[in-house]
Chain A
Amino acid sequence: MNNDFLVFDHVTKRFGALTAVDDVSLTVGKGEFFSLLGPSGCGKTTLLRMLGGFERPDSGRIYLEGRDITDLPPDRRRVHTVFQNYALFPTMTVWDNIAFALKLAKTPKEEIEERVDSMLEMVQLSDQAWKYPNQLSGGQKQRVAIARALVDRPQVLLLDEPLAALDLKLRQHMLIELDAIHDQVGITFLYVTHDQGEAMSLSDRIAVVNKGRIEQLDAPPKIYEAPASRFVASFIGDTNFFCGEIVSIDGDYCNIEVEGFPQIRAFNDKQLKVGQRVDLSVRPEKIRVTSTPPLPEKGASINVFPSKVKDIVYQGVYTKYWLQSGSLQVSALKPHSRFLLDQETITWNDEVFVWWHPDDGYMVEVK
C-alpha cells in the first residue's frame, strides 16, 4: 500500500474565531477505506470539503498522488463527493444524473452508455434508469449518488455521512453494499461519520477527530481496545472510567487507589511509577456480574468488588447492568451465549460481584 497517496500536511482552517481544523496532518493509502469519525462540529466535514475543493485551508497543503491540489477548484480535482442529502439533480433522470460527469468530460457516446449501464447494474438500479430522483426511495437515491460519483473513476470518493438519512434496517444493508462496492472498484474511500458503528465496520483505519484535531489514528480494534484519550474511549462505545493514583507496583501490574473504591489492579502498560495519577478505562462487556464471587483458583489477582444492582436493561442479545460499587457507578454488559431461561437471574437490588481481569483495563490518560 502506497501510504503517501493522499496527504494532509499541517492543514489549518478557521471560520472567524473558530478553528475548525487545527494543524491536521494525516496520510491515506491508495485503495484504503479511511474514516473520519467525530461528533458534529468537530471539523471532519471541513476536512472533507477542503479535499473536495469547497474550502481553502488557511495554512498547510493537501497532496494527492504527489500533486499539490490545495488551490485547485472542485472541477479540476478527480475527487467526487457523495453528499449527505444525496444532491441528485431533480430535473434529470437517474441515467442522466449518473452520466453527468462523463458528459462533462466529453466521453464518447458509446462509452458513456456502457459505463452508465454498468454502474446501474452495480448498484442494482437498471430498471430505474428513466425515473426522476423524486420517484426513488431513500436507499435508491443513495445508490444513485454513489454511482454518479464513481462513474468516471475518481482518485478518491468522499462520503459525507452518507447513511445518516436512512432508517436503521436500510443503513445496515447499505453498509454491506458500500463494503462490497469498495472491494469491487478499489478506489480510495474517505468516509465521514459520527456513527462509530459505521466507521468500525467499514474502515481499514479510523481517525478520531475532536475540536479540529486528530485524537487517534488507528485500525478499528486498536481504537476500541486501546483508546488514546478519555475522549476516544468515551466517544467509541461505552466505558467505565476509574481515576486514581498508583500506590504500588507489582511486576507488570500496578495497584491504583481510587477514591471511594477498593484498590484496582491493572496492567501497567505505560510503565508508570508510584504516585502518578491515571485514568483507567474498563469496557462494560469486560466486566462480569455474578451472584457468587469467582473461584479463587482463577487467580487471586483479579479485581472483584461486591456491588448492588441499581438498574437493568434487557436487550435479548445481552443485558446491561448499572451497579453501585463503593461510591461509584459501574456499568456492565452481560452477553447471553447460553439459553437464558435456564440461568439464575439477577434482578434489582441484588447483592452481586463485579469482576474483571487486570489485563482488561486500559490506561487512557496519565496526569
Chain B
Amino acid sequence: MRPTGVLLRFSLGQLLAGRRLLIVPLVALPLVLVAVFAAGADTDPTTFTLDLYRQFVLPVLLPVVSLVFSTSALGAELRDGTVTNILLKPLPRPAILGAKYLAAVLATLLVLLPAVVAAHLIVAGGLGSTDLLAGMVLASVVGALAYCALGMLLSLLMARAVLVGLVYALLWEGAVVSVAPSASSLSIRGYTEGVLAAVLSGGGVDFTVRLGPVSASVLAAVVTLAALGLAVLRLERMDIK
C-alpha cells in the first residue's frame, strides 16, 4: 500500500482505537431509540425524521462529532510529540494533512451515517422518502467536510481547539445567526441546511432556509478549501516541538 494509504489507515485506526469504537453505538443508540418511539406513535415519518435531523443531528451531533475527530486527528500527535513519526517520512506535508483530514471525515461519517439512516428506516418502516434520505446523507457529508476542515485548522493553531470549534458551532451558529440572519453566510449549519432544502424541495418538502442551493454549496466549498489551504500553510511553516 502506498505510504499515504498506510497513513490514512493508521490514522483511522487511531481515531477509533479500542474503547473509542464505543462512540458508534453510543451515538446510534439515542437516534435509534428515538426512532423506535416515534415509529410506535403516529407521527408523520417524514416530518419526524426531518425534525430530528434539523434539530438534533445538524446543530449538535454533526459539529460535535466532526470537531472531536478532526481536532484529535493531527492535534493530539502534535501535542504529545508522536507527530515526528509521520513528519520525518518521505511524504509531502499536504499529503499528510490530507490523509489525517480524510480519516477524520471518514470516522465522522462512520459514526453518523449508519445511525441516521437506521433511524430513518425505522421511523419510515421501510425506505420511506428517498429524497429525505439522500438529502440527509448529502447534508451530513457536506457538514462533515466543512467542520472537519475547520477543526483541523483550529487544532494546528491553538491548544483547546475543540472548545473553540464548539463555541463557534453552538454559540455563533446557534445564537448569533438567529439574531442576525445576514451572518448565516458564515455558518456551516446554514450551508448544510441549504443543501438539505435543495434536495428536498425536489420532493415537495419545503422549509425556509436563508441560503439557496447554489450559495450554500459554493460557500461550503470555499470555506472548506480555505480552511484546508490555511492548514497546509501552517503545517509547512510551523516549528515542531
The answer to whether A and B interact is no
